[in-house]
């Protein structure tokens, strides 16, 4: 369980069965922005207002700070180990196979579940655009999942399958389409800031924290707005000059997105207000609950917290009705770029886990024409489509956060361990003040994780238990490392006699 795959073996494996290197620094930054700016700011702004009021600005800053220190750790590891796998690969090289498996298993929650959440967010904007711009009433049964009072969210399921097809046809094509969609998305947010910021009213910022410390703790949910920057690291094996380009892509995309979040949140609060809807006892109602839905109906949906398309709704409220509809159109066009990056990251995690023997080798098959891992891409797409069809955005977002925070903490630990165990290894990028930055990242991730709801934490533990069962039933017995299949001959020759005996024919 604690066997460690040497970094040289990881790099050698990637060279023998690798993906094509086609991505540069600009494409990586665009991929990062495409992964980060999405449902978190376009849709979950309403939930952030209900959980924190105007204090959601502080929550955005707290979550962004935790991501920033984690990004510095990611930059060192991804530049030093430029292969697919992200936190899974780093953990395998430092903390052992079982921890690596659990990290990879947790990343399923981050990427696949997050892709489902973004698909639901996309559906909300598209349905809102159709209803407002064309006065067409769409039955809730076809655009909402069972927990939201519908039957199935067909638009969300459909867009997930469309993105799956795009990913199958190739990384280069996916990145090119993504770059265009990112520009559309950035232009829409810029236009929102231009129209909203000049008409802000400072009285809308008070009271700043109507729910007290619990509003600041809402950073645990708002953290979803930043989920995705680490997806850049999963593209390391497909990156040209990764030692230079990976840190640029990671830190650059995070910096751009944090600035946008603060400006957009300020625009929403300052123009239409962001005070949460309270019950008779003065307690904030839970987002996504039947109680909040009923309260919004009695208020005639006059609060931003009641909207499923918060930014478009805000522009309509301040007099820019057609511009609001255009922003809804832009979100409908651009949010698929986030789904694309989430699914891109998930398929690359599965690809490298299969390549290590922890999952069936058939999952890592490369398409002869498109040169992409098409089998696992299709499987992932079907699962994401199912998540989007039947679950609400808030539930999916919180579940995704739990897996993300666990993976981030493991990367910070890996950086510190490797500084001690392999101090002479070349580090093209070194985390500054690592003995301060990495512990802060771990503590920050821990604080946000334990701030999540009880049900979310319980689901994470259940998912982790299922992962352990799968590992011991298949991965432990079929691991290439456990069977002595190491891609660096001299490492295999130097293996200690107490190691797991190699199978016949092992290299």
| Confidence band for 86, pLDDT divided at 50, 70 and 90 | low
User: How many Cα atoms occupy the beta-carbon half-sphere of 136 within 13 Å?
Assistant: 8
Element (H, E) at 30: helix 25-36
Percent of the chain with pLDDT over 90: 27
Residues 384-435 pLDDT 10s: 999 999 988 878 888 999 998 998 999 899 899 989 988 888 787 788 899 9
In order of 58, 261, 458, the CA distances from 61 in angstroms are 5, 9, 27
Query: What's the pTM value of the predicted model, to 2 decimals?
Result: 0.82
| Confidence band for 124, pLDDT divided at 50, 70 and 90 | confident
The residue that leads in pLDDT, 482 or 491, is 482
Residues 199-232 pLDDT 10s: 999 999 988 888 777 666 678 888 888 876 666 7
**Termini Cα distance of the chain:** 21
- The answer to whether residue 27 scores a pLDDT higher than 90 is no
Q: What is the pLDDT of residue 85?
A: 59
Residues 333-359 pLDDT 10s: 888 877 887 888 788 788 878 878 888
Q: What is the pLDDT of residue 502?
A: 32
- The answer to whether residue 492 scores a pLDDT higher than 60 is no
| Confidence band for 283, pLDDT divided at 50, 70 and 90 | confident
Q: What is the pLDDT of residue 495?
A: 38
The residue that leads in pLDDT, 174 or 82, is 82
Q: What is the pLDDT of residue 89?
A: 77
| Confidence band for 499, pLDDT divided at 50, 70 and 90 | very low
Element (H, E) at 196: helix 171-196
- Number of CB atoms found within 10 A of residue 292's CB: 21
In order of 40, 42, 68, 239, 300, the CA distances from 224 in angstroms are 6, 12, 14, 26, 28
Residues 254-275 pLDDT 10s: 888 888 889 999 999 999 998 8
Across 74-96, average pLDDT: 76
Q: What are phi and psi of 504, to 5 degrees?
A: -55, 135
Residues 436-463 pLDDT 10s: 999 999 999 999 999 888 889 999 999 9
Percent of the chain with pLDDT over 70: 84
The residue that leads in pLDDT, 107 or 14, is 107
| Confidence band for 50, pLDDT divided at 50, 70 and 90 | confident
What is d(CA 161, CA 384) in angstroms, rounded to the nearest whole number?
8
Q: What is the pLDDT of residue 15?
A: 60
* Assigned token pair, 195: 């129209």
| DSSP symbols for 52-96 | HGGGHHHHHHHHHHHHHHHHHHHHHHHHHS-STTTHHHHHHHHT-
Residues 456-470 pLDDT 10s: 999 999 999 999 999
- The answer to whether residue 497 scores a pLDDT higher than 60 is no
Q: What is the pLDDT of residue 235?
A: 67
Across 295-303, average pLDDT: 77
- The answer to whether residue 242 scores a pLDDT higher than 90 is no
- Average pLDDT score over the chain: 82
């Amino acid at each position: 369980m604690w066997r460690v795959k040497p970094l040289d073996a990881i790099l050698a494996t990637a060279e023998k069965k690798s993906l094509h290197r086609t991505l540069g620094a600009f494409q990586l930054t665009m991929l990062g922005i495409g992964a980060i700016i999405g449902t978190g700011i376009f849709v979950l702004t309403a939930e952030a207002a209900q959980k924190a009021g105007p204090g959601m600005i502080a929550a955005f800053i707290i979550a962004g700070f935790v991501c920033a220190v984690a990004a510095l750790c990611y930059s060192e590891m991804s530049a030093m180990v430029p292969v697919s796998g992200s936190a899974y690969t780093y953990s395998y090289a430092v903390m052992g196979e079982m921890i690596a498996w659990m990290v990879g298993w947790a990343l399923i929650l981050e990427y696949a579940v997050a892709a489902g959440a973004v698909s639901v967010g996309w559906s909300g904007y598209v349905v809102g655009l159709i209803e407002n711009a064309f006065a067409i009433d769409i039955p809730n049964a076809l655009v909402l999942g069972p927990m939201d009072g519908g039957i199935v969210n067909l638009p969300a399921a459909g867009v997930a399958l469309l993105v799956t097809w795009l990913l199958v046809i190739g990384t280069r094509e996916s990145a090119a389409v993504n770059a265009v969609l990112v520009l559309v998305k950035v232009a829409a947010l810029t236009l929102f800031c231009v129209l909203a910021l000049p008409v802000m009213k400072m009285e809308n910022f008070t009271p700043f924290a109507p729910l007290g410390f619990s509003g600041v703790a809402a950073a645990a949910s708002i953290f979803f707005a930043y989920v995705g920057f680490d997806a850049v690291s999963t593209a390391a094996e497909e990156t040209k000059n990764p030692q230079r380009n990976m840190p640029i892509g990671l830190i650059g995309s995070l910096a751009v997105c944090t600035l946008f979040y603060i400006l957009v949140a300020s625009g929403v609060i300052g123009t239409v207000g962001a005070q949460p809807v309270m019950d008779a006892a003065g307690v904030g109602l839970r987002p996504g609950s039947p109680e909040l839905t009923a309260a919004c109906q009695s208020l005639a949906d006059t609060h931003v917290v009641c909207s499923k398309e918060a930014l478009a709704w805000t522009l309509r409220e301040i007099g820019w009705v057609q511009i609001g509809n255009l922003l809804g159109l832009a979100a409908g066009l651009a949010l698929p770029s986030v789904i694309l990056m989430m699914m891109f990251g998930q398929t690359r995690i599965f690809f490298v886990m299969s390549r290590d023997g922890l999952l069936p080798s058939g999952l890592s098959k490369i398409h002869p024409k498109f040169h992409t891992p098409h089998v696992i891409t299709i499987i992932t797409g079907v699962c994401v489509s199912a998540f989007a069809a039947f679950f609400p955005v808030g539930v999916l977002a919180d579940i995704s956060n739990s897996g993300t925070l666990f993976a981030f903490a493991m990367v910070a630990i890996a950086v510190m361990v490797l500084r001690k165990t392999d101090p002479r290894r070349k580090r093209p990028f070194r985390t500054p003040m690592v003995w301060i930055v990495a512990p802060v990242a771990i503590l920050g991730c821990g604080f946000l994780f334990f701030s999540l709801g009880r049900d979310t934490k319980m689901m994470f533990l259940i998912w982790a238990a299922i992962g352990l069962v799968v590992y011991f039933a298949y991965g432990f017995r079929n691991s290439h490392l456990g069977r002595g299949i190491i891609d660096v001959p001299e490492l295999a020759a130097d293996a200690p006699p107490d190691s797991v005996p190699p199978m016949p024919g092992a290299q």
